[in-house]
Structure 1
């Protein structure tokens, strides 16, 4: 239930601070994942899918570290920022895409054990998360690995915008 509290807090924070357009994918993510977490907990079933989905939080550590490094004005070229970028991408692939693959496999292999409603809800949530994770991964790759050297003091944020420090 703690994760649901975080999703709810973050969702309300984005709406109150009028950042809906900037963080639309985060809102959709919170609806898709939070909805499935809530449904699973209330129904007291398929909790294993929640556990697998929580593996994505391992990657969140490095996403938040990236943001903290940006807030502390650590340069993109600094070894700590670069190291976090590599670990961030690797954990993104393993724990975000890997979790989605594991859940999709579970639906394929054991989909007959759940109701049709649950199957559709979880399949829809997986599809939404695949699209959102692909967009976020591309942004990370583009901003941290594929970008051209920038003038000193200019840093790119996850949404692709540049900030001057």
Structure 2
């Protein structure tokens, strides 16, 4: 795609996710989540993006495995379009979070989105590192399970209602284990592979690109450690003491 077409796809993506978020206002919201309706809509919209982009990224590598041989200069219309659509989502979510949540509660998300938008913006305008950007979107497979888990928590479906002792429901337990498993595979392993690749190809990259990539990976790595700690503490350590937790 040329630059004009790319910008149109990005703009269309922003509008599409905004439309989805607006439609969710008119759909039923679980009673337990009524006092957090904005968060319900935001996470539901994020789930839509994670499901779409995660599956799309896998499809890109399935249809064009050659992308893995050259993550710098090789790309396809499918992969370039994926990065453009995801860029539109991150723009929408950045604005949605910035306008609806206090900065003290949202600075991590805003910082993450800023780093992602910088890297994706470079890939879209230069048509370089598109494959590398697609690899990073494999992380969204785990994000989908994280969002499902959050929606279960918001809707009050964490614990079973047929017992006096708080015990996680089967649905929540399965989701929690899948979240943990995909976190190791699609977050920890993917970021580790991306870091190794960046180091191996550092001599062939401009210094500002290398700095941008290293900064983004460092930020994501820190966030992954925090997410993993919170998940284990809330769902696996706390459950031992029959307490509840959130992520």
Q: Shorter-chain TM-score category?
A: 0.7 to 0.9
Q: Is the 8 A contact 1:29 1:129 kept in 2?
A: yes
Q: Is the 8 A contact 1:62 1:87 kept in 2?
A: yes
Q: How many residues align?
A: 154
Q: Is the 8 A contact 2:135 2:190 kept in 1?
A: yes
How far, CA to CA, are the matches of 2:173 and 2:201 in structure 1?
41
Give the structure 1 partner of residue 135 of structure 2.
52
Q: Is the 8 A contact 2:98 2:106 kept in 1?
A: no
C-alpha offsets along residues 119-146 of structure 1, whole Å, 9 cap, x if unaligned?
1110111111111111111111111111
SS of the residue corresponding to residue 146 of structure 1 reads helix
How far, CA to CA, are the matches of 1:107 and 1:16 in structure 2?
35
**25-34 vs 116-125, greater mean Cα deviation:** 25-34
Give the structure 1 partner of residue 245 of structure 2.
156
Gaps of 5+ in 2: 1-83, 160-167
Counterpart pick for 2:101 among 8, 18, 32: 18
How far, CA to CA, are the matches of 2:91 and 2:149 in structure 1?
23
Counterpart pick for 1:130 among 199, 203, 221: 221
Give the structure 2 partner of residue 98 of structure 1.
189
Give the structure 1 partner of residue 124 of structure 2.
41
Q: Is the 8 A contact 1:52 1:102 kept in 2?
A: no
Q: Name the structure with the higher helix share.
A: 2
Q: Is 1:8 aligned to residue 91 of structure 2?
A: yes
RMSD (CA atoms): 1.3
How far, CA to CA, are the matches of 1:96 and 1:25 in structure 2?
17
Q: Is the 8 A contact 1:53 1:99 kept in 2?
A: yes
Larger Rg: 2
Gaps of 5+ in 1: 159-165
- Residue 75 of structure 1 and its aligned partner are, at CA, apart by 2.4
- Residue 23 of structure 1 and its aligned partner are, at CA, apart by 2.7
